[in-house]
Structure 1
């Protein structure tokens, strides 16, 4: 496949590849985790995923996979659900996950999960310079569609050129498959793109695909190893909400601007 080559007159990324959960918004802390707890209550389960417990489960990619891992690792009480779980564990977990998705959508639709600082601004700056946008996520297609519809303003929904989601590949992040798929869909080379991630697993996936990565970490990922990132900040920032830089180039304006991204490629 012939890929578009970078113009010498355009030193900036040809595409920004955004992770979704934890990167666009704090979907984990104020979206997914309470939605899981709502689903557990709906099923009559006494389980409760605290922030600390949930953080330990985030090492597993994918919601259904995370539920199976919790069942195997923690052996929680089944609270009257033992027969259903024994008949078909996969179907039972799938039913809980569908309930969680309904509760998650309710939270999204109610505005409980705002975009993180600087996300909309940086996306619009990129689009204004002719840069394409992609969403690259471990989430399933239904979950991705929900988040795209409820998190992004209409102009940015329309600006997303490509999506790559977990049910389109054989291995989720930290494997590079999703980023390789996004490059194929964009018809771009890795050195022309910049990934925007929040976690070490996403950083590993991007770098394994040869893509430079900007990390905007959060409360669930702070403390992870981001030494392979071209730039690591606590969020992208706004003119009135400066970003704190962990490492990488100084932020001339105190927040991450599209014009600052050329030096991050490679």
Structure 2
């Protein structure tokens, strides 16, 4: 494992230590990849396979309780029993291979949407990352997505300077249990060689919040349309996005920060 140099403790505006690392979820946190990326890509894949399926926003939210794209497709098939049209024979012959083929098609359509710029970063993400990196804070990405999916999203979502600023990644194919299990966050801490108390997670959903807290890491939740109604009682701060100076966030609960956008220098009170 790589050895990181010792960091000087950086103090925030109130004289308390700031996080040594910010651990960001990816889907739904860095960008609204679910609503404007994955869901339409699934629908494009269904059309490609001649399936008369359409995942509405409401239906898709109900499927997000399942972690992982392939797992989500299997769950949909078992729960909703949708018509298979001309795909019944292929689905019966090798269900896993058939689902994999649909998922590969979805990934291709998702990449096309990313490359076309249809999935922008959410407010405040790039700004906060740059503020943190500029003060020596390490950045990590902690995601249920596979390594190829993460590499794809990083390439299209993050500017070059932020891609280079990512110190550590922890992906779903590196652990046995994905979020809401704590495994991914525990792996990120091991790679960073930091304790949970030195880090702050940024998530968008209850499952990610549960994973971070189970690993002992304090968490900020920046919810979105797909996750707004979930339970965020364990979060240090709950906002609708990270905010910009000209685009303030709406605070749902948690610490009352001095600005309407999440600044790195104000994060010390959020650590637990």
TM over 0.5: yes
1:184 aligned counterpart, secondary structure = helix
Over residues 104-127 of structure 1, what are the superposed CA-to-partner deviations in whole Å (9 max), with x where a residue is unaligned? 000000000000000000000000
Cα drift, residue 254 of structure 1: 1.0
* Residues 1:88 and 2:94 aligned together: yes
Q: 2:36 aligns with which of 24, 30, 34?
A: 30
Correspondence for 1:259: 265
Which residue number in structure 2 is paired with residue 165 of structure 1? 171
Find runs of 4+ consecutive structure 1 residues off by over 2 angstroms: 1-10
Distance 1:212 1:252, change over 3 A: same
- Is there any run of 5+ residues in structure 1 with no aligned partner, and where? none
Q: Contact conserved, 1:162 with 1:182, CA < 8 A, in 2?
A: yes
CA contact (8 A) 1:13 1:261 kept: yes
Q: Verify the 8 A CA contact 2:209 2:232 in the aligned structure 1.
A: yes
Aligned mates of 1:169, 1:253 — CA distance in 2: 37
Task: Indicate the RMSD between aligned Cα atoms, in angstroms.
Answer: 1.5
Structure-to-structure mapping, 1:10-159, within 5 angstroms? 10=11, 11-159=17-165
Which residue number corresponds to residue 227 of structure 1?
233
Distance 2:257 2:134 in 1: 20
Does structure 1 residue 178 correspond to structure 2 residue 184? yes
Q: Is the 8 A contact 1:236 1:243 kept in 2?
A: yes
2:14 is matched with which residue? none
Secondary structure in structure 1 of the residue aligned to 2:86: coil
Q: Which runs of 5+ in 2 are unaligned?
A: 12-16
Q: Distance in 1 between matches of 2:213 and 2:227?
A: 18
> What's the offset of the Cα at 1:32?
0.0
Deviations 1:25-48 (A, max 9, x none): 000000000000000000000000
C-alpha contact (below 8 Å) 1:198/1:218 kept by paired residues? yes
Q: CA deviation at 1:248?
A: 1.3
Q: What is the distance in 1 between the residues matched to 2:230 and 2:252?
A: 11
Q: In the alignment, what sits opposite 2:203? A: 197
Distance 2:7 2:269 in 1: 14
Tell me the distance in 1 between the aligned counterparts of 2:81 and 2:170.
33
Counterpart Cα distance in 2 of 1:112 and 1:46: 24
C-alpha distance in 2 between matches for 1:200 and 1:222: 10
Deviation sequence 1:157-178 (CA, Å, 0-9, x none): 0000000010000000000000
Note if 1:236 corresponds to 2:242: yes
Alignment coverage as a number of residue pairs: 266
Query: Whole-Å Cα distance in 2 between the matches of residues 222 and 143 of structure 1?
Result: 25
C-alpha contact (below 8 Å) 1:3/1:188 kept by paired residues = no
CA positional deviation for 1:9: 5.1
How many angstroms does 1:5 deviate by?
A: 7.9
CA 1:193–1:5: 2 relative to 1, 3 Å: farther
Query: Contact 1:68/1:93 (CA < 8 Å) preserved in 2?
Result: yes
